[in-house]
Amino acid sequence: MKISNTFKATSKIIVAAITLSVALVSCKKDDDSNPVQVSGLSVIHASPSAEKFDVFVDTKKANAADFSYTNKIDYLDVSSGNRKVVITKKGLTAPLLSDTMTLKPQVGYSLFVIDKTETLKYLLLKDDLSKPAAGKARVRFVNVSPDAPALNLVIAGSTTDLVTNKAFKGSSEFLSIDAAEKVTFNVKNQTGGAIVATTGDVKIEAGKIYTIWVKGLIAATDDTKLGVAVFTHK
C-alpha cells in the first residue's frame, strides 16, 4: 500500500467530485498498470495533550515531521478499501490506538485523533469537496472537546445560529456562507447561549471549503484549554 500526495495536489483546486475521481484514477497505477482506486485521508491531532504522535497507515508512516497537538496532515492518497490506521507515541512502536476503517474510492476523509491520551479515539468524517456556489464558501462545525457541553456555532452579528446542539464527537454538514474578508465565528453553549470560544477575524474565500473545530478542555488553563480553530480543505 503506497502513500503519496496525489489527492492533496488535486484537491487544492476544490473541483466537483467527478472531476476529482477522473484525475485520481488516471494518475495512480500499480506495478501491473491496472488503475488503483484512491482515497484522500487527512489526519488531525485533536487530543488535548503535549504528546507527540506518529501515524501509520497500514505499515507506512504518514507523518514526516512532528505530529503535535492541533497539527494536521494534509490529504494523503491511500489505496481505497480497508486501511489500518495506527497511532503511537513519537519514535515508539507500541500502538496507543489502532483501528481498521473502510475508505471509499475518490472520497476525501478527515480523521480526528481525539480525547485524552489514555482514552484515545478516532473520529472519521467524510469530506464533501464539491465546488461551492459562486461567491460562496462552505463550512462544517465539529466538536472534539471531551468535556465540553453541546455547542452552537454562530457568525458574529447574526441573530440565527449557523449550527446547533453539537456534543462531543458531533459534526454538522457543510453549509454555504458568503465569502468575506473578515468573519468571526463564535461558539456558544447550547444551554444559555454564553460564548465559550471565538475565532477572531477569519478571511473566508469564495470557492473554498473549511472545517471549524472546537478543541481542548474546559477544565484546562494551559495550551490545551478550550478553543476553536479553522482549517481549509486543500
CA distances from 22 to 10, 17, 113, 163, 215 (A): 10, 9, 30, 33, 35
Mean pLDDT of the chain: 90
Identity of the residue numbered 29 = K
Sequence-ordered list of residues with C-beta below 8 angstroms from that of 133, at least 6 positions apart, any chain: 176
Residue 141: Cβ-neighbour burial (10 angstroms; 0-12, 13-18, 19+)? buried
What is the reported pLDDT for 5?
59
pLDDT at 223 over 70: yes
Q: Average of pLDDT values for 140-155?
A: 98
DSSP class per residue in 205-228? -TT-EEEEEEESBTT--STTBSEE
pLDDT band at 6 (very low <50, low <70, confident <90, very high): low
Instruction: Evaluate the CA torsion angle 57, 60, 65, 66 in order and state its sign.
Output: positive
Pairing of strands 163-166, 195-204: unpaired
Q: Can you list the domains of the chain with their CATH numbers?
A: 1-131 (2.60.40), 135-234 (2.60.40.2890)
What is the reported pLDDT for 34?
60
Which region holds residue 106: left if phi is over 0, alpha if psi is between -120 and 50, else beta? left
pLDDT tens per residue, range 156-166? 999 999 999 99
| Grid cell at residue 49 | 495533550
pLDDT tens per residue, range 178-218? 999 999 999 999 999 999 999 999 999 999 999 999 999 99
pLDDT band at 24 (very low <50, low <70, confident <90, very high): very low
| Locus of grid cell 503519496 | 4
What is the reported pLDDT for 36?
78
| Locus of grid cell 453553549 | 189
Question: How much is the pTM?
Answer: 0.88
